[in-house]
Chain A
Amino acid sequence: MSDREQQKINHNPLLKIESVSKTFGGVQALRNISFDLHSGLIQGLIGPNGAGKTTLFNLITGIYKPDDGRIIFDNQHIQGRQVHELVRIGIARTFQNVEIFGSMNVIENVMVGRHVRSKCGFWGAVTRVPWMVREEKNTFDNAMEILSFVGIEELAYRKSSELPFGWQRLLEIARALASNPKLLLLDEPAAGLNATETRQLGHLLKKICATGITLLLVEHDMSLTMEICDRIVVLDQGKKLAEGTPKEVQSDAAVMAAYLGVEG
């Protein structure tokens, strides 16, 4: 990339999706999607089942490569880069179907989340050099801090697979936070939570946003989405249907028709 081009994208949004498309076999999961995500906001991504929300997450996190279009994160083109590299430059995620490390206890799960911010490898581990011992302690302290930030520090030594579902969701968020992300992608974090848990989740997401982390949130729970999101993008059958503040989106006739099932 030339310097001029680099200049042009400086001071741009944290994440820029530019005419991204993706097909699976015959299914066009995403067609020509573009939108920006600015630092420090909570942005919602909503749409009916099969709209392509998870697919978009998989493109941003590098699991799939877009067929077409560009994804720019923090002034770097990231389409086609490896998943683990993208975590290193600041993109973390949670999964629609919670994926925690079931054989480990809670604190270990969060310590794994710290992987990209630590570097002890094979030789460091076997020789137990002082810097490695220090790093290990930092990893532990940091994981503890995150657990208490999320509010589950008393679960630190519980086996993660034995936790109730709601806590597993929080654990997954804690693990994602451990990588010090700039951007956190949450795929239906409220699914399976009861009303109280959902409300608490809403507070937590705002608290995360307040620490300077930008959030992109896929969520079916409309009251949560409308309450905490600064902006919302609506997808339907792989196309972008609308974009705007929660108010604007709610009053959009096309959204009403396609998504909320209300005839405009």
Chain B
Amino acid sequence: MTQDRIIYGIFFLVITAIGFAVENHYYLQLLTIIGINTLLALGLNMLMGYAGQISLGHAAFYGIGAYTTAILTVHYNINPWMSLPCALFLAVLVAVIVGLPTLKLTGYYLGMGTLGFGMIVHILFREWSSLTGGASGFVGIPPLEIGPISFFPARNYFYLVWFTVLISFVFCKRLIKSRMGRALRAIHDSENAAKAVGINTRNMKLEIFVFSAALSALSGFFYAHMVSFISPESFSFLVSVKIVTMVVIGGMASIWGSLLGASLLTMLPEWLHSFSDFEMVVYGLILMLVMIITPQGLTRGILDIYERSRTTKNKP
């Protein structure tokens, strides 16, 4: 409990310090994207890492968040802070409708079900041109502001996103350490035994699916208002896979793993520019290596190395 507080305190200071120190707008924006991706990975990690339910369609919720706020603010002139609850509500509604039938599935079948859902939503974004701007995308999404404070400058947006990440971390950690968190992990370990101790597994899975969808939509909201231009390709199947990869690389069932995974997968393409044509090859190789060396994800891997070095040091 107090240990958690210290960690959040440090996290807070780090965010503040980075916000102060980094002057370059490009880097600030890159860091903000990492924050947005961290929210995405965190949302999926709650579902996948803790409850053990895979989703290969999470980019759909990300997109629902982005397109809802884009459409409401541009076509209907609604204040972005009013469109946020609408975006969250729509994502929750869709998650309930999609989750009720698909969460009955397990394993590969659940993967296929969510994959299909993600593809349908992607096609909707692309083909429903009158509303979404179609394949060419949606332009002119307004920046965020609260009264006199504009979040248009990169630094303000950085703070907005990263303090949201901090709050989300606190919430998720609380959730995990609660009755509900234990029930989710129980479902992950053995659904039969979870039922036998009286957990309504269907409702529990649906609840975490909905929460996970809401976090993704929040992330999409931030993305849309940051870049002001969105297109269907930002919410395609490949993006769903990327979110899954962030969770797996960073570490399943680890909140900080989401941060690590999101950072790595956002930064890697930037670093790999110098490889130009071979970028994707090197990218793939790095991911493969990480999975081979630390199959539990980077967070677990680093902790293991740390613990091993400590035990060897303690030996006479």
A residues with CB within 8 A of B: 61, 63, 82-84, 87-88, 92-93, 95, 99-104, 108, 111-116, 118-122, 124-126, 128, 132, 135-136, 139, 175-176, 178-179
Chain B residues within an 8 Å CB radius of A135: 179
Residue B284 is within 8 A (CB to CB) of chain A in the complex: no
Residue B149 is within 8 A (CB to CB) of chain A in the complex: no
Chain B residues within an 8 Å CB radius of A125: 174-175, 177-181
Cβ–Cβ contact A101 & B186, under 8 A? yes
Cβ–Cβ contact B182 & A112, under 8 A? yes
The one of B177, B189, B192 in contact with A104, judged by C-beta atoms closer than 8 angstroms, is B189
Residue B193 is within 8 A (CB to CB) of chain A in the complex: yes
B residues with CB within 8 A of A: 171, 174-175, 177-183, 185-186, 188-190, 192-201, 207, 211, 253
Question: How far is the CB of A60 from the nearest CB of chain B, in Å?
Answer: 12
Q: Which 4 A-B pairs have the closest CB atoms?
A: A87-B198, A125-B178, A116-B198, A99-B193
The one of A95, A108, A122 in contact with B182, judged by C-beta atoms closer than 8 angstroms, is A108
Question: How far is the CB of B247 from the nearest CB of chain A, in Å?
Answer: 16
Cβ–Cβ contact B180 & A121, under 8 A? yes
Q: Within the assembled complex, what's the spacing in Å between the Cα atoms of A95 and B193?
A: 8
Chain A residues within an 8 Å CB radius of B182: 104, 108, 111-112, 115
Q: Which residue of A lies closest to B201 (CB)?
A: A84
Cβ–Cβ contact A101 & B189, under 8 A? yes
Cβ–Cβ contact A120 & B193, under 8 A? no
A-B contact pairs, 26 of them (CB 8 A): A82-B200, A83-B195, A84-B201, A87-B197, A99-B190, A99-B196, A100-B193, A102-B189, A104-B182, A104-B185, A108-B182, A112-B197, A115-B179, A115-B197, A115-B199, A116-B198, A118-B179, A121-B179, A122-B211, A125-B175, A125-B181, A128-B174, A135-B179, A136-B178, A176-B197, A179-B197
Interface centre among B180, B193, B197, B201 (most CB of A within 10 A): B197
Number of A-B contacts (CB under 8 A): 98
Q: Within the assembled complex, what's the spacing in Å between the Cα atoms of A125 and B185?
A: 15
Cβ–Cβ contact B198 & A115, under 8 A? yes
Q: Within the assembled complex, what's the spacing in Å between the Cα atoms of A84 and B186?
A: 14
Q: Within the assembled complex, what's the spacing in Å between the Cα atoms of A263 and B130?
A: 84
The one of A99, A104, A120, A175 in contact with B178, judged by C-beta atoms closer than 8 angstroms, is A120
Cβ–Cβ contact B193 & A101, under 8 A? yes
Question: How far is the CB of B158 from the nearest CB of chain A, in Å?
Answer: 25
Chain A residues within an 8 Å CB radius of B253: 103
Q: Which residue of B lies closest to A99 (CB)?
A: B193
Chain A residues within an 8 Å CB radius of B185: 101, 103-104, 108
Chain A residues within an 8 Å CB radius of B174: 125-126, 128
Given contacts A99-B193, A101-B189, A139 and B198 within 8 Å (CB-CB) = no
Interface centre among B183, B189, B201 (most CB of A within 10 A): B189
Chain A residues within an 8 Å CB radius of B188: 103
Q: Within the assembled complex, what's the spacing in Å between the Cα atoms of A104 and B177?
A: 12
Given contacts A100-B193, A103-B189, A112 and B183 within 8 Å (CB-CB) = yes
Question: How far is the CB of B182 from the nearest CB of chain A, in Å?
Answer: 5
Chain A residues within an 8 Å CB radius of B200: 82, 84
Chain B residues within an 8 Å CB radius of A61: 196
Q: Which residue of A lies closest to B180 (CB)?
A: A125
Question: How far is the CB of B193 from the nearest CB of chain A, in Å?
Answer: 4
